[in-house]
Amino acid sequence: MTPFGRRMREMRAERGVTLSQMAEQIGVSAAYLSALEHGKRGQPTFMMLQRIMAYFNVIWDEAEALRALAEMSDPRVVVDTSGLAPEATELANLLAREIATLPPEAVAELLGRLKILSRPG
């Protein structure tokens, strides 16, 4: 499941909406929405994101947060380390190889540390 998919599922649950109900209202299949939630589809297009935000009547900060989640929800990431230090390439490859076996706590810890390091100083 992607961060965007998790948030979309939470919003549906908060409103008591099924995948089928939402899909019918925004003009897509329930299978597509399910795949989007579970990370079997890539990021939603800008137009799809707009339809989802309109469906949930999301505005301002919540809309910006949802857009940011969508940007961070590509389940098939490519990391280009050309021109970076050898350690960056090693890190990218090690993470690609090991991420499926890491316990959730380790993933959360690594994510937290990266977020702290990537904050503007």
Residues 43 and 101 in one domain: no
Which pair of structure tokens corresponds to residue 39?
């990370």
Per-residue HEC secondary structure of the chain comes to CCHHHHHHHHHHHHHCCCHHHHHHHHCCCHHHHHHHHHCCCCCCCHHHHHHHHHHCCCCHHHHHHHHHHHHCCCCCCCCCCCCCCHHHHHHHHHHHHHHHHCCHHHHHHHHHHHHHHHCCC
pTM of the model: 0.77
Residue 81 belongs to some domain of the structure: no
Q: Which of the four pLDDT bands, split at 50, 70 and 90, describes residue 4?
A: very high
End-to-end CA distance of the chain: 31
Residue 108 belongs to some domain of the structure: yes
Residues 33 and 60 in one domain: yes
Which CATH number does the domain housing residue 15 bear?
1.10.260.40
Residue 77 belongs to some domain of the structure: no
Residue-wise pLDDT tens digits, 65-94: 999 999 989 888 899 999 999 999 999 999
Residues 66 and 7 in one domain: yes
Residues 67 and 90 in one domain: no
Residue 65's domain comprises 3-71
